[in-house]
Amino acid sequence: MPRGFLVNRTKTHSQPNLFSRVLRIENKPLQVKVVRGVVFSVIRKITVAPIALLLVPFTLHKVGAAGYGTWAIFVTIISLTWLLDPGLSPTVTKFVAEHSGTNDIPEIGRVLNASLALCLFMSALASCVLWFFARAIIGEFFRGPAAPPTSEILTLWPLVMLCITVFLMTAPFVAFINGCQRMDLTNVLVFSTDLFSALATVVLLCLHAKVRSLLLAQLLSSSFMLVGSIMIVRRLLPSVTPNPFRCKLRTLGKLVSFSVPLYAGYIMTSVQGQLEKLYLARFVGIVPVGWYNVANEGAMKVKRIPDLLLGPVLAAASELDATEERRKVEELHFRAHKYLGLIAIPLVIFSVLTAKILISLWVGQGLIQIAVPFALLVIGNLFPQIGAPLYFILVGRGILRPAVYTAALAAALNVVLSFIFIKRWGFSGAVLGTVFPMILSTVYFFIASGKYFEVSLCRMLGRAYLKPLLCSLAATLAIPMIGALGMRRGTSLVVEMFTYGAIYLVGLVMTRFFDNFDITTAESHVPFLRITRRIIPVS
């Protein structure tokens, strides 16, 4: 495969100053855009991850288990507002990427205006539903002896509604930036928002250690994200003025006709991991909601690291499909799986084997009972993560049916199994009701999608994941030996991590996992890596 297998055909537009050159749609090879987005995603995650890890035990200490459970229910309600977003974010990203490839700036503006109009309508609808059904929602989900009184929760309800409105209105602007394939800017914005959110949370909790402080911090950080995304959009395309009241019905119809089939996928994403908390609140109490939220948060943090590799895939696939470069789409699909396997497989296996140590170091021995649920959720999350490159490629090509059927299957299984398992086994059933639908729906997704590819998906998955899996399993043999040395938990974990990683990388090199394209691409972005050709055999 030639070095520049991803090429952008956008015409060059000169800019008068440095700031304008940074914030624009420029003439860069598509390969550079993809790598740039991944690099900025990794830098953001490495920088922000320690803050996010420390924030959970700090919040638990300040508000207590009951307060954290109450906060988890509020977060669930806010997150479930994605049910009102009919697949709009990936739709905007796809159409903006396509029109960027053909340099159709007016159509990009119409896409943005139509998406803003739809989100404004959804925000108003969400606010009305929450206002009229406030007491019913509170009565159903804020239960148990530790639950706060209804009057106290009602005083927080306006903050929840404002968070939801800002949350929904930010989505089109972020999707627009991603569609311009400027995930470097998205990551800078998210990084700044995460820092602002952490600072606001710490300050407000120190001043007033209540759930209200958490909601205020959420509202302030969401507003920061909204304002920042608007400013970036205005700098990227000064000729585009976002205005939902200038929405064109034809463009709105085009967006809706594409996004509505994706709605099932958004239902699954919103329901998965959120429905369990509502069931737990209804049948068990708010304290187990907090336990599940901590386990799920930990599992999602493990999942988010490899997810950083996948952010640019949808926009890249959409642009390549618009220029009918099918061979390059297939190559992009394989590379996404290969690099996902490189990071995700060893991370999942190491997290599962060291689950008890990770949980005890993170939130203390008092919550060590969530180590097994954490490990199961980490394994469950791996399956839809492996399906993510396939999902992005199919959506970029405009093929929606497999994703829609898979999402419907996963959502149905999640609703039914979680209900049965939680009523029977309580907290443990919540984990099983999450993991089983993830595994079964992902298997179905690959079976249903095979006919859209010339290369066998099973063969491609073997090429991408088999060597990382075998090398990871071989590296785990060193962990029990290090644990037998009797070192302190923190020291032992660090030594195990570096030993595991070293054995894993040596295994990949010896099995010739890396090919000439991998080395050439690495050299083009980090020149000193040319020395690796002397020591790394390539396939």
Place of tokens 């729906």: 441
Residuewise pLDDT in 10s, the chain (539 residues):
333 333 333 333 444 444 444 444 455 555 565 665 566 666 666 666 677 777 878 888 888 878 888 888 888 888 776 666 666 777 888 888 877 766 777 888 888 888 888 888 888 888 888 888 888 888 877 876 777 788 888 888 899 889 988 988 888 898 888 887 787 788 788 888 888 988 999 999 888 878 888 999 999 999 999 999 999 888 888 887 888 888 888 888 888 877 776 666 666 666 666 778 888 888 887 778 888 888 888 888 888 777 777 777 877 787 777 777 788 888 888 999 999 999 999 999 999 999 988 888 888 777 788 899 999 999 999 999 999 899 889 888 888 888 888 888 888 888 899 899 988 888 888 889 889 999 999 999 999 998 888 888 899 999 999 999 999 999 999 888 887 777 787 788 889 899 999 999 999 988 889 888 877 776 666 665 566 555 666 56
In angstroms, the CA 436 to CA 428 distance is 13
> Do 448 and 481 have their domain in common?
no
> Do 154 and 281 have their domain in common?
no
In angstroms, the CA 88 to CA 55 distance is 31
pLDDT at position 346 is: 94
Is 11 part of any domain?
no
In angstroms, the CA 369 to CA 66 distance is 17
> Do 40 and 74 have their domain in common?
yes
> Do 524 and 404 have their domain in common?
no
> Do 297 and 238 have their domain in common?
no
Is 15 part of any domain?
no
Burial grade of 302 (CB within 10 A; 0-12, 13-18, 19 or more): buried
- Chosen domain end from 262, 288, 321: 262
> Do 161 and 280 have their domain in common?
no
Is 254 part of any domain?
yes
Please answer whether residues 53 and 198 qualify as being in contact, where contact means their C-beta atoms are separated by less than 8 angstroms.
no
Residue 79 C-alpha from the chain's centroid:
13
pLDDT at position 19 is: 43
pLDDT at position 37 is: 58
The answer to whether the predicted template modeling score (pTM) of the entire model surpasses 0.75 is: no
In angstroms, the CA 431 to CA 279 distance is 12
Name, in order, each residue with C-beta under 8 angstroms of 448's C-beta and a sequence gap of 6 or more.
401, 402, 405, 406
- Chosen domain end from 262, 280, 295: 262
> Do 112 and 230 have their domain in common?
yes
> Do 383 and 490 have their domain in common?
no
Is 20 part of any domain?
no
In angstroms, the CA 530 to CA 497 distance is 27
Torsion, Cα 91 87 255 28, to 10 degrees, reads -10
Is 235 part of any domain?
yes
pLDDT at position 258 is: 79
> Do 245 and 352 have their domain in common?
no
> Do 412 and 485 have their domain in common?
no
pLDDT at position 10 is: 38
Residue 109 lies in domain? 25-262
pLDDT at position 481 is: 84
The H-assigned helical ranges of 133-210 are 134-141, 150-179, 183-207
pLDDT at position 89 is: 78
Is 12 part of any domain?
no
Is 10 part of any domain?
no
In angstroms, the CA 266 to CA 252 distance is 19
For the beta carbon of residue 508, count every other beta carbon within 10 angstroms: 19
- Chosen domain end from 207, 233, 262: 262
> Do 481 and 449 have their domain in common?
no
> Do 482 and 461 have their domain in common?
no
For the beta carbon of residue 530, count every other beta carbon within 10 angstroms: 12
Is 2 part of any domain?
no
Q: What's the structural domain count of the chain?
A: 3
In angstroms, the CA 433 to CA 380 distance is 10
Tokens of 142: 């804020």
Burial grade of 211 (CB within 10 A; 0-12, 13-18, 19 or more): buried
pLDDT at position 6 is: 38
pLDDT at position 44 is: 64
In angstroms, the CA 375 to CA 431 distance is 10
